[in-house]
Amino acid sequence: MVRSAQPYDALLLCSFGGPNGPDDVLPFLQNVTRGKQIPEARLKEVGEHYYGFGGKSPINEQNLALLVALRAELDRRGVELPVVWGNRNWHPYTVDTLRDAQAFGAKRILTLVTSAYASYSGSRQYREHLAAARAELGDELRIDMLRPFFNDLGFVEANAEAILEAAARLGEGYGSETVAAAGGLDGAHIVYVTHSIPDTMQDASAETGDGYREQHEDVRAELDRILAARTAASFDSSLAYCSRSGDPRVPWLEPDVNDHIGELAANGVRKIVIAPIGFVSDHMEVAFDLDIEALETARDHGIRAVRAGTASVRPAFVSGLVDMILERAARERGEAAEAPTVGALGAFPDVAPPGSCRMRHGEVTGVPVLAGDED
Ligand SMILES: CC1=C(CCC(=O)O)c2cc3nc(cc4[nH]c(cc5[nH]c(cc1n2)c(C)c5CCC(=O)O)c(CCC(=O)O)c4C)C(CCC(=O)O)=C3C
Ligand SMILES: [Fe+2]
């Protein structure tokens, strides 16, 4: 039986984008930082991270893999829904992808952004971006966005599995993988990591609902609960931040993961699992800021450290996303469809509330966002 995802004609996988080679790095960074106050020195530094990887970010191939995995899961369930891919900061740009989709007759698009948590960077900036694309392509095109998925069981389950696999590497020599995971986790400290944002962006994210930091704390608590139940190991955890940018005088969320690892070492911690719950795939922030910098910091302090994988294309994650897509489509058809979540915060609304997730607390820019949530 063919099931439809009506009223949607296509699913747009919308991501950040990244350079595919050395010549892309500068223009990509210019796209990202247009209108933002980022010092030249920071840009140079980030450019070097990319050049160190041959000028190529892993993010585009990771998004293609996610697209293929979503396609396969939709097919497996017999759902007819084209999946297309577009980015905010690099080719293929969202507006070009949507123009093609429109040429094939698509009128109503559901967007999945590769950002699990709601803040300006992970939510409103995408809604501004999509509104700009729609303004270019015409009002017949209707674009919706899926609610944040940080507390979807599939996303949380994928992270739990990745942490257990990493813990098993810490516990090598304990026997079977389950025993090794428990042994590795026992006495360990899990450092959950996400992207730092300016304090004023955090405050803005908390204005109409639970804020960015609170969303991560909710995931941390839920993961701790799942991991303790599955392993009976005794462990601690905390939330730290990576990849701060901007003017050094402007406060961003802390502790920085490297400072935090130093503090843990001073407090006698000897083994850690670094769990990048703030990221959906192992892109540059993970490959450089965690795998190169944070792991080196741990080594310098004599701490054994492993980095857990991201949700990426784990079946639990992909399947959870498809559930969310089908639920949203059902609600748009006027059918009753629940929005199940884990943790304490509950489902975020399908349409972001007016005034949510501004760039800075107290700031109103008047930049258009998607229909339904204009200020
Ligand atoms: C919350 C958040 C996420 C997580 C949510 C999500 O995943 O969306 C995220 C993801 C990403 N950030 C990325 C890259 C960059 N972010 C920058 C700058 C900034 N990020 C910010 C926040 C976030 N960013 C902020 C507040 C800035 C300051 C300027 C601004 O207000 O926008 C800069 C400029 C240079 C620098 O200063 O770092 C770059 C190059 C890539 C691509 C990686 C790759 O290429 O593999 C990805 C996935
Ligand atoms: Fe970023």
140 and 233 housed in the same domain = no
Contact, 315 vs 284, CB < 8 A?
A: no
State the pTM of this model: 0.97
The number of the ligand 1 atom at minimal distance from the alpha carbon of 280 is 7
Kindly report which listed range (144-148, 177-181, 256-260) carries the lowest average pLDDT score. 177-181
106 and 168 housed in the same domain = no
Q: Which amino acid, residue 220?
A: R
Instruction: Count CA atoms within 13 Å of residue 76 on its CB side.
Output: 11
Contact, 5 vs 329, CB < 8 A?
A: yes
CA of 62 to the centre of ligand 1 (A): 16
139 and 171 housed in the same domain = no
Determine the average pLDDT of the residues in 312-330: 98
164 and 142 housed in the same domain = no
Domain that holds residue 21: 3-149+314-332
pLDDT of residue 78: 97
Q: How far is CA 60 from CA 6, 44, 46, 126, in A?
A: 28, 22, 18, 17
157 and 299 housed in the same domain = yes
Element (H, E) at 351: none
Q: Which amino acid, residue 225?
A: R
Give the number of the ligand closest to the Cα of residue 279. 1
CA of 287 to the centre of ligand 1 (A): 13
349 belongs to a structural domain: no
CB atoms near residue 105 (< 10 Å): 8
25 and 77 housed in the same domain = yes
Q: How far is CA 268 from CA 170, 190, 257, 261, 324, in A?
A: 17, 14, 17, 11, 42
DSSP 140-190: T-EEEEPPP-TT-HHHHHHHHHHHHHHHHHHTTTSSSHHHHHHHHHTT-EE
> What's the pLDDT tens digit per position in 230-281?
999 999 999 999 999 999 999 999 999 999 999 999 999 999 999 999 999 9
pLDDT of residue 234: 97
Distance CA(211)–CA(94), nearest Å, equals 27
pLDDT of residue 248: 92
CB atoms near residue 294 (< 10 Å): 26
The number of the ligand 1 atom at minimal distance from the alpha carbon of 125 is 32
141 and 160 housed in the same domain = no
Both tokens of residue 218?
A: 């909710």
CA nearest neighbour of 283 among 258, 260, 312: 312
The residue written with tokens 């990509």 in the block is 28
Largest CA distance in the chain: 61
Determine the average pLDDT of the residues in 181-190: 93
Residue 232 CB-density burial (10 A; 0-12 exposed, 13-18 middle, 19+ buried): exposed
The number of the ligand 1 atom at minimal distance from the alpha carbon of 116 is 5
CA nearest neighbour of 308 among 273, 279, 258: 273
Evaluate if residue 375 carries a pLDDT over 60: no
Total domain count, the chain: 2
CA of 310 to the centre of ligand 1 (A): 16
* CA-proximal residue: ligand 1, atom 45 (nearest): 18
Both tokens of residue 212?
A: 């960015």
103 and 247 housed in the same domain = no
189 and 327 housed in the same domain = no
Distance CA(61)–CA(57), nearest Å, equals 9
The number of the ligand 1 atom at minimal distance from the alpha carbon of 283 is 46
CA of 79 to the centre of ligand 2 (A): 33
121 and 225 housed in the same domain = no
pLDDT of residue 19: 98
pLDDT of residue 343: 98
CA of 34 to the centre of ligand 2 (A): 13
What's the helix, strand, coil split of the chain in %, to 5?
A: 45, 15, 40
Ligand 1 contacts (CB < 6 A) are 16, 18, 29, 32-33, 36, 38, 42, 46, 57-59, 114-115, 119, 121-122, 195, 197, 243, 245-246, 278-279, 283-285
